[in-house]
């Protein structure tokens, strides 16, 4: 067996992604390899999407998602689009079903190079998000940043899209809030036993909002697909928007549709940067085909 696995450095609206192809192998991609890759400017990432074979008859592949610190994430919409673009290049297929620790998700590669992912359905109960306390109404919970008398942000909507999110609604431009200061504190707040992604959202129109996200175990990100889904769903749930929403992120725009069957669909692009081969134990790597999606 070749010690190195094929990989691609990609991004989804600036959300830095590594796709590691471990199909046909018996070994695993190690947390230390992820930590080592995160240290290099060329391979710095928000998430690594590792593709494995699966024995499930209802899925094509298993995807494992690894954060910069080597911990596992449950879901990543932008990363899943990158996986679809990679697999489309390798196999020619356009429809995929993936098994993840958050459940089964499906995806479609479109002719216009846009990719749609079915992210499943939102979870609103405190136990499913999860929260450490019982909360009857998760559309606005008792949580704030800054002083209780004059908080910077307060009363977020909380939801799980396979991972926990807190969405703080703001009136002013999302760039005017020091998310980099209070995001790290709220991420690890005791109310979130599995930590949480912290976002600030501003409603622009009945079908549009602006969003910034502090991603758990990753930090500030230019785009977070599950945060976009969570914000769109929470906006519709609280009467701020309809169920089809354009979400403007620092890296670009995603289209979110919360359908009548309760499933949330995310549509957006994925972009190649370079490809190569990586040692899944140590993270050492070599570049292969620069700045192209050519199959390797």
- Dihedral of CA 283/289/290/293: which sign? negative
The token pair that represents 4 in the structure block: 């190195």
Please check whether residue 226 is in contact with residue 253, taking contact to mean a CB–CB distance below 8 angstroms. no
Active site residue 224: yes
Neighbours of 287 (CB within 10 A): 12
Residue 77 CA to residue 13 CA, distance in Å, equals: 11
DSSP 174: G
Active site residue 229: no
The token pair that represents 3 in the structure block: 């010690």
Please check whether residue 170 is in contact with residue 155, taking contact to mean a CB–CB distance below 8 angstroms. no
**From start to end of the chain, where are the E strands?**
5-12, 15-21, 47-52, 61-67, 72-73, 95-100, 103-109, 115-118, 144-146, 151-154, 157-160, 164-169, 197-205, 208-215, 219-221, 244-249, 252-258, 264-268, 271-278, 285-290
Catalytic residue among 57, 82, 224, 229: 224
Please check whether residue 109 is in contact with residue 94, taking contact to mean a CB–CB distance below 8 angstroms. yes
User: Which residues are marked as active site?
Assistant: 76, 224
């Amino acid at each position: 067996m070749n010690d190195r696995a094929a990989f691609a450095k990609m991004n989804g609206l600036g959300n830095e992604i590594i796709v590691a192809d471990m199909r046909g192998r018996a070994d695993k991609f190690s947390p230390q390899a992820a930590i080592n890759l995160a240290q290099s400017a060329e391979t710095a990432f928000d998430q690594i999407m590792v593709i494995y074979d699966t024995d499930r008859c209802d899925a094509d592949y298993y995807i494992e998602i690894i954060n910069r610190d080597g911990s596992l994430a449950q879901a990543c919409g932008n990363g899943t689009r990158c996986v679809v673009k990679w697999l489309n290049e390798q196999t020619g297929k356009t429809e995929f079903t993936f098994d993840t620790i958050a459940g089964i998700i499906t995806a479609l590669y479109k002719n216009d190079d846009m990719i749609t992912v079915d992210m499943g359905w939102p979870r609103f109960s405190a136990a499913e998000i999860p929260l450490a306390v019982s909360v009857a109404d998760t559309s606005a919970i008792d949580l704030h940043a800054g002083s209780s008398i004059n908080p910077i942000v307060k009363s977020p909507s909380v939801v799980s899209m396979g991972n926990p999110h807190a969405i703080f609604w703001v009136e002013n431009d999302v760039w005017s809030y020091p998310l980099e200061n209070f995001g790290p504190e709220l991420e690890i707040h005791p109310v979130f036993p599995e930590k949480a992604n912290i976002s600030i959202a501003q409603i622009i129109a009945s079908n549009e909002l602006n969003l910034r996200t502090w991603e758990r175990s990753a930090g500030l990100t230019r785009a977070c697909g599950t945060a976009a889904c969570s914000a769109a769903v929470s906006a519709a749930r609280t009467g701020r928007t309809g169920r089809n929403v354009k979400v403007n992120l620092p890296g670009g725009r995603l289209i979110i549709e919360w359908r009548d069957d309760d499933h949330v669909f995310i549509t957006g692009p994925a972009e190649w940067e370079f490809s190569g081969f990586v040692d899944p134990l140590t993270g050492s790597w070599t570049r292969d085909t620069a700045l192209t999606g050519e199959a390797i």
